[in-house]
Structure 1
């Protein structure tokens, strides 16, 4: 932080003392920063648009899945780009409630998607349940995938 403050102070001194030389360099630096910011904004909104085309559904299905992994997952890539990697966290809510009942522990399961999912393809899997707060049964809860993070092929 001290180095940043010294750089800004030095830039201000140079701008005041030598405005004819420092102003064009400052303008070019500002244009460069704006271009980098625009590029980062475009990449962020592009990823958000691609993630919005994913359909991820979680259901408690102990009859369709093994006992140690009773959470059924269906993921469909409705976008136009192949999904390369996907990570998420599972949240559980009581019907009509907005409090997440999943305890976020260090050793809680990590959820990852398929290696590659082509556009229009569907992936099915069974997942382990996350740890809940005491007093709740999984068959009474609604499960949602939150904090989606993914990467897509160009």
Structure 2
């Protein structure tokens, strides 16, 4: 932080002392930083839009899944580009409630997608349950995927 303050003070002194030379360089630097910031914001909004086109459904189905992985996931890639990677956290809610009942401890399972999923493709698998708070059962809660992070092919 001390170096940053020193750089800003030096820039201000040069701008006041030699405005004819420092002003064009300062404008070029501001334009460069602005274009980099705009590019980063554009990339982030593009990824957010693509994540919104994913349809991810979690259902507790112990009859159709193995006993150690009773949570069924169905994923549909509604984008026009392939999905390369996907990660998320599973949250559990009582119907109509907003309190997450899943304990997000360090030992909780990490959830990852299928790897590459083509545009318009579907994927289905069974996953382990996240640890729930005491006195709650998986049969009585709704599971949702939250904090999606993904990358797409360009």
Q: What is the TM-score when the length of structure 1 is the normalising length?
A: 0.99
Which residue of 1 is the match for residue 22 of structure 2? 22
Unaligned runs of 5+ in 1: none
Runs of 4+ residues deviating >3 angstroms:
none
* Counterpart-to-counterpart distance in 2, 1:49 and 1:96: 27
The equivalent of 2:108 in structure 1 is: 108
Helix, strand or coil: the match of 2:35? helix
Q: Check if 1:93 corresponds to 2:66.
A: no
Q: Deviations over 1:81-131 (max 9, x none)?
A: 100000000000001110000111111100000110001110000000000
Provide the rounded CA distance (Å) in 2 between the counterparts of 1:6 and 1:140.
Answer: 59
Are positions 1:35 and 2:7 aligned together? no
**Equivalent position SS for 2:26:** helix
Gaps of 5+ in 2: none
The size of the alignment, in residue pairs, is 154
**Which residue of 2 is the match for residue 152 of structure 1?**
152
Counterparts of 1:1-154 in structure 2 under 5 Å?
1-154=1-154
Give distance in 1, aligned partners of 2:114 and 2:71: 16
- Give the superposed CA RMSD: 0.4
Deviations 1:68-92 (A, max 9, x none): 0000000000110100000000000
SS of match in other structure, 1:8: helix
Instruction: Measure, in 2, the Cα distance between the counterparts of 1:115 and 1:147.
Output: 18
